Amino acid sequence: MKQSLRARSNPLAKTDTQQAQLSAGPFADGSLPTFEAQLQQHRLPAIRPKTLEILQLNMGYMCNQVCAHCHVDAGPDRKEKMSRQILQKCLDLLSSTDIHTLDLTGGAPEMHPDFRWFVAEARKRGVRDLIVRSNLTILRANKSYKELPAFFAEQGVHVVSSLPFYKREKTDRQRGEGVFGQSIEALQVLNELGYGKEGSDLKLDLVYNPSGAFLPGDQTALEHDFKKALQEDFGIVFNQLFALTNLPISRFLDYLIASENFEDYMHALVEAFNPAAVAQVMCTNTLSVSHEGYLYDCDFNQMLGMPVASAIQHIDNFDIDLLAQRKIEISQHCYGCTAGNGSSCQGAMT
């Protein structure tokens, strides 16, 4: 199996190397505007947070897959995980704030030893939308994990699953040999439990991201194609497809550089800049918490080591009013969320 950048001692495993790369080349020689300059050219103000609605937790970097595009650099060789103490702090936040959506990601969040306890506790605190970002294959990994779909249904978990494509070849190329077949099995199990079915409260959304150095097409058209193909070939149904742009971070950044696509990809992102998408970016209503309890504007900033620009940087001294006064930290990767129809963890935005 492939290894993470970190296990391979790849320079891009370090956040400062990634940050330097994102400001080099076309952005250093002025052939492309930095994201900050782009906002100024469009007379757009600095991005600031709105009402905090979503708490996104990165429960850790352990994962059973080593996807070629992973911005977290997750994998079986990564052991970092959120402590029980930090998890408890997150639960306290859910009780003391109006945050209505909890978004669990990783790695594979299901691999966290406290995962089930945490989901059940969060549910007791009245979270309206409890999202688990599942890679699907983990749900087929062993007997214990095979019980998770039933647990999800019992807890009313909203499952958001990665499926890069509705055909085997592209999916396996991006996520590893055999991933497509296991993902299909997991989706069929979720469907049997009522997930994704019309009239059911159990929501099953899929995430599409391009398997290469190109931007996603129209989300509605892709959703139509996914629904048709998965229904016809495997009898699978789901609610929505989220088309996500790959951001030039971590392993996808490594791929872009190694395949000599970095400059062209950044040109494509800049050319697709949509000023209307800026006001909708997910960092305006989301706060991302690292496994160590540090706070970030989004999961991407977390992976680039860019903490919130606030005196409050850790969940231990969380203060919603002080955090609301901050400016969102930006760099050139932000072009990924403002390209075309925009891209967020909930898909296209405009």
Partner 1 sequence: MKKSYYQPEDLSKFKNISDWSPELGAKFFEYYNTVFEEGALSAREKSLIALAVAHVVHCPYCIDAYTKDGLQRGIAKEEMMEAVHVGAAIQSGATLVHGVQMMGIHDKLSM
Give the residues lining the site for partner 1 (CB under 8 A): 165-167, 210, 212, 214-218, 221-222, 225, 267, 271
Q: Which residue lies nearer to partner 1 by CB, 159 or 270?
A: 270
**By C-beta, is 165 or 300 nearer to partner 1?**
165
CA-closest candidate to residue 131, choices 87, 175, 154, 161: 161
Comparing CA positions, the residue from 155, 158, 137, 154 lying closest to residue 146 is: 137
Tell the smallest beta-carbon distance from residue 21 to partner 1 (Å).
22
Pick from 145, 170, 184: which is nearest to 62 by CA? Answer: 145
Strands 286-289 and 295-296, bridge-based pairing? antiparallel
Min dist CB 179 to partner 1, Å, is 18
Which is closer to partner 1, CB of 117 or CB of 214?
214
Residues 293 and 278: their CA atoms lie apart, in Å, by 27
Query: What residues have CB less than 8 Å from 24, skipping those under 6 apart?
Result: none
Shortest distance, position 197 Cβ to partner 1, whole Å? 24
d(CA 275, CA 281): 11
Please list, residue by residue across 181-190, b when 16 or more beta carbons sit within 10 angstroms of its beta carbon and e when fewer do.
Answer: ebbbbbbebb
Pick between residue 210 and residue 293 the one whose CB is nearest to partner 1: 210
**Minimum distance, C-beta of residue 118 to partner 1, in the bound complex (Å):** 36
Q: How far apart are CA 315 and CA 298, in angstroms?
A: 15
Checking phi first, is residue 24 left (phi over 0); if not, alpha (psi -120 to 50) or beta?
beta
| CB of 247 vs partner 1, minimal distance in Å | 16
Contact between 272 and 215 (Cβ < 8 Å): yes
Of 138 and 348, which CB lies nearer to partner 1 in the complex structure? Answer: 348
The smaller minimum CB distance to partner 1, of residues 181 and 212, is found at 212
CA–CA dist 196, 10 (Å, integer): 40
Neighbours of 227 (CB within 10 A): 18
Beta carbon of residue 224, minimum distance to partner 1 (angstroms, whole number) = 10
Closer residue to partner 1, CB minimum distance, 29 or 321: 29
Residue 32, Cβ density class (10 Å: 0-12 exposed, 13-18 middle, ≥19 buried): buried
Instruction: Considering the complex, state which of residue 36 and residue 218 has its C-beta at the smaller distance from partner 1.
Output: 218
Residue 335 Cβ, how far from partner 1 at the closest point, in Å? 15
